[in-house]
Amino acid sequence: MHVSGGWIAHQSELVSIDLDKICEWEGVDTVLRSEDRGKRSKADEDLNLLGEKSLSERLESEYMPDCNWLVVSPEIETKEDFSLTLDKSPDLPMLDQILFVHKPSNLLTLPGIGAAKLVCLASEVNEWLSTDELDGQRILEEGRKSSKRNLRLEQSSSKKRKKKKTVYIPRPCHRLDLDTSGVMVIALTPEALRLTSSMFEERRVQKTYIALVAGHLDTDHGFVEYPIGKVYNPIHDFNEFRCHIPPSARGNVQSTSAADVSTANHLDFVENSLRNAKTEWKVCKRFEISLNNGKMAKYTRVKLKPHTGRGHQLRLHCAAVGHPILGDDLHAPELISRATPRLCLHAEKLEMEVVSPTDAHSQLSKAVATSIPPF
């Protein structure tokens, strides 16, 4: 699949990329590309007048969750020179109190509004933890026993600590968008949720994504550092994430097609919403596929590393530099959004420090969880 190109894995099947749409997008005149945002907005407005829904709204209202999630076994890199006594553990989660899983595309991380959206990654994982006697129940019980051991140690050193009587339900420590797939972390105990969530907030978890983007990037490695904020959308009556390209940098944007879809002027942003954002990218492979009509479809497989955590950051930054992600129905031109049946963005790897319990002591380790990209 990576050699010849032209295909992605989607819902347990190989699906062809619509290469004609990529060629059509590449062939559109630059001036026409810059008008793409207006055309899409006008099209959405016309749909609203007719009482019809846009593609995004149809996907949301006709939510059919893909429940093919999987448990991911992480690789553990032990730091031999750093062992800890059980009563002096750092502010890191215990390895036996977290669970790494693969979330498929088209599955919510947490429940949404309405009965149809109660099915999500959190609900599916919890059902498995409570019903699967062979693995699920064993993993949950081991996590709870680990938590009780640590809690007794903490209480012995601090008499002021009070027990919480509420029943804890395992939940994800972070989120992935509905249409993004990849590896995630589930906290089996409240202590693990608190510690792991703090690590994500403090950018102490390294995340690596794989994406397919339209066109060919000129260089093999680089950074995108355009700020991201929220802009009011009068058609749908909500604030949407947009990217701001300073006037001094607009000459560096390779294509205005996606940039105009995903960017806005400084004065358009909601007050105090604009924040710095940084994404690192590295080319994995450039695809150039000949079609029967003699045209050439070009797209690129890239590795993305977010150095900040802004809303829709990877989508917006790819679009802002003129290489929107295939299948992105929110920030890519219509031709690119319809080139694939899903968003071609996948959380491939999570790397984080953890404490690995042993018989005599706790060992500081690094957990590396990987989910194989479907493209």
Residue 92: φ, ψ to 5°:
-130, 150
**Spatial CB neighbours of 181, under 8 Å, sequence gap ≥ 6:** 102, 103, 104, 105, 342, 345, 346, 347, 371, 374
Per-residue pLDDT at 49:
47
Tokens at residue 361, please? 């002591």
Tokens at residue 221, please? 């490695």
> From CA 303, how far away is CA 288, in angstroms rounded?
18
> From CA 147, how far away is CA 144, in angstroms rounded?
5
Per-residue pLDDT at 2:
45
Sequence letter at residue 291: L
Known active-site residue 177: yes
Tell which phi-psi region holds residue 76, choosing left (phi > 0), alpha (psi between -120 and 50) or beta. Answer: beta
> From CA 224, how far away is CA 281, in angstroms rounded?
8
Domain extents in the chain: 7-63+210-347, 70-205
* Residue 355 near residue 93 (C-beta atoms within 8 A): yes
Q: Which of 66, 177, 268, 329 is labelled catalytic?
A: 177
pLDDT per position in the chain (375 positions), as tens?
444 789 999 999 999 999 999 999 988 754 444 444 444 444 444 444 444 454 455 555 678 899 999 999 999 988 665 554 444 556 899 999 999 999 999 999 999 988 889 999 999 999 999 999 999 999 999 999 999 887 665 555 555 555 557 899 999 999 999 999 999 999 999 999 999 999 999 999 999 999 999 999 999 999 999 999 999 988 888 899 999 988 766 655 554 445 555 666 767 899 889 999 999 999 999 999 999 888 999 999 999 999 999 999 999 999 999 999 999 999 999 999 999 999 999 999 999 999 987 655 678 899 999 999 999
> From CA 313, how far away is CA 306, in angstroms rounded?
8
Note the pTM of the prediction, 2 decimals.
0.86
